[in-house]
Amino acid sequence: MKWEGNRESDNVEDRRGDGGGGGGGFPIGGRGIGIGTVVLALIGWGVFGINPLTTIGVLSGGGSPQVQQAPAHRPPGDDQGAKFVSTVLASTEDVWTQIFREGGAQYQNPKLVLYTGVTRTACGTGQSAMGPFYCPGDHKVYLDMDFFNTMSRQLGAPGEFARAYVVAHEVGHHVQNLLGISGKVDAMRGRVSEREQNAMSVRLELQADCLAGIWANKSQQAKSWLEQGDIESAVNAAQQIGDDKLQREATGTVRPDSFTHGSSAQRVRWFTQGYKTGSMKACDTFAAQSL
């Protein structure tokens, strides 16, 4: 992926090593943690999505542990990992600003917070064990970049564009929030059965995959920055973190009724659909008869 030299976003907050981001978290990429532990943690929290604390009513000051938060600052200029995610975030800003403008609306850029271990969010205390997540309450994406090491070494999903897909998926949740989609889904919680709630969550997550595919399509048109194997690495990442694959590796059984993000095949299908079409209409997972 030819990302060097492209614009970096100003909307990145670096909380790593500032006292508010470290200590007490569950570093899933840490030394000595086996793949079974990693998979169980990811199943428990969900593999990058909307912060699950928002779905169980745990809001700031509402029962989550208090975490002291130091003032945020920009990442250091020589941090290549931070430069990469800043560049990808800038590209999502460009793509979604244009798409919203074409639809007669104004896009609001999200913030991306880099942290280590645990961090305070408007949705409660974020933890590394959640994987990357989006908090609708503060319009921020939260990322402990150790997750990228976990993707490569333990989940079998290496590659820069696989990492870009993760960022784009989270930004997809921000787009859903701006469009009122995630709010409508959240409003149904408690009114429907757990099975129906899980089914809605799957459609929400698959749509975020599709929106990530739209970003891949539009960013490639604008920058021609994808290289051979890049799309394949994103597709592989989607396949590796399907609910069925994670459940099978963790427990030996698969329970479709408990899926919250979709199967490997479904995640691949919807990311690919967004990438091939570049169309918002093609990403209406809620109207789809079959996922």
| Cβ partners under 8 Å of residue 120, min gap 6 | 20, 60, 66, 67, 68, 69, 126
Spell out, as residue ranges, where the chain has pLDDT lower than 50: 19-45, 52-69
Q: According to the model, what pLDDT value does residue 27 have? A: 29
The residue among 198, 266, 257 whose CA lies nearest residue 46 is 198
Number of H helices, E strands in the chain: 9, 7
Classify 6 in phi/psi space as left (phi over 0), alpha (psi -120 to 50) or beta: beta
Q: According to the model, what pLDDT value does residue 43 have? A: 45
Q: According to the model, what pLDDT value does residue 18 have? A: 59
Q: According to the model, what pLDDT value does residue 67 have? A: 41
Q: According to the model, what pLDDT value does residue 128 have? A: 86
Alpha-carbon span 242 to 170, nearest angstrom: 16
Amino acid at 183: G
Q: According to the model, what pLDDT value does residue 290 have? A: 93
Alpha-carbon span 239 to 109, nearest angstrom: 28
Output the six-digit token pair for 61. 């000051």
pTM of the model: 0.85
